[in-house]
Amino acid sequence: MSTEVKLTASNFDAEVMQSSLPVLIDFWAEWCMPCKMIAPLVDQIATQYAGKLKVGKVNVDEESELANRFGIVSIPTLLVIKNGSVVRQRVGALPKHELENLFKDLI
């Protein structure tokens, strides 16, 4: 069972901005091949770091307001938000160890 949270405009502030845990956010789309490549890795991270890191996914086609809010122009884009602020951002398909490097020092 996935521990990823589907993020929407209506739950974003409660799930992300007010989270006591750092949050890794994957901005993705159904048609995006690199997004599909990293999806299993993001899911593994959500399970492996449950309780230490929150992992959320934003479908940019369904949540264009959130994509615009963070200036997302290419996907996949991964953000790490801690204490309500973006602390890291990377674009593109990354291997698992590079995904982990985005947040490991924050948990």
At 3 the pLDDT is 84
Contact 26, 57 (CB under 8 A): yes
**List 16, 23, 32, 41, catalytic entry:** 32
At 2 the pLDDT is 59
At 42 the pLDDT is 97
Radius of gyration of the chain (CA): 12
Q: How far is CA 24 from CA 16, 18, in A?
A: 9, 14
Measured distance CA(17)–CA(42) in Å, rounded: 20
What letter does residue 20 receive in the DSSP assignment? S
Q: Tell me if residue 10 is catalytic.
A: no
**Does 106 score more than 60 pLDDT?**
yes
**List 35, 66, 67, 93, catalytic entry:** 35
Contact 75, 32 (CB under 8 A): yes
For 50-91, the pLDDT digits (tens) are: 999 999 999 999 999 999 999 999 999 999 999 999 999 999
For 86-102, the pLDDT digits (tens) are: 999 999 999 999 999 99
**Does 1 score more than 60 pLDDT?**
no
Q: What is the pTM of this model?
A: 0.95
Q: Tell me if residue 32 is catalytic.
A: yes
For the purposes of burial, counting CB atoms within 10 Å of the CB of 33, is it exposed (0-12), middle (13-18) or buried (19 or more)? Answer: exposed
